[in-house]
Amino acid sequence: MIAINTCLFCEKGCEEAGLHQVLTFDADTNICAMVTELQDTSLLARIVDVGNLIAREAKYHLKCEEFFAFLTSRVTEFALPPSKSIIHDFRYFSVV
């Protein structure tokens, strides 16, 4: 389940950087595609539980979304298997 007023990716609240709400189907689709590509099972479970990110008013830090997009591009570009340690390190050390 996605908590209200926390980032979908890092699960932290609105600190210095504001949260952006998922407002379009393109954003919803892109986020789901990134999570699937990275095989982030914990985030995927939360998204599947929620279903429609727009209807659930999911929010994210722009830097978190950009970082996940960067990871996804690297996995896709170099055909690398997703690294759970990279995703775990992101959540543990994310500074927003």
**Nearby residues of 39 by Cβ (< 8 Å), 6 or more positions away:** 82
HEC-encoded secondary structure of 54-86: CCCCCEEEHHHHHHHHHHHHHHHHHCCCCCHHH
Q: Flag whether the pTM goes above 0.75.
A: no
The residue that leads in pLDDT, 43 or 75, is: 43
Q: What is the pLDDT of residues 47-90, one digit of tens each?
A: 876 668 888 888 999 998 999 888 888 776 666 555 554 554 44
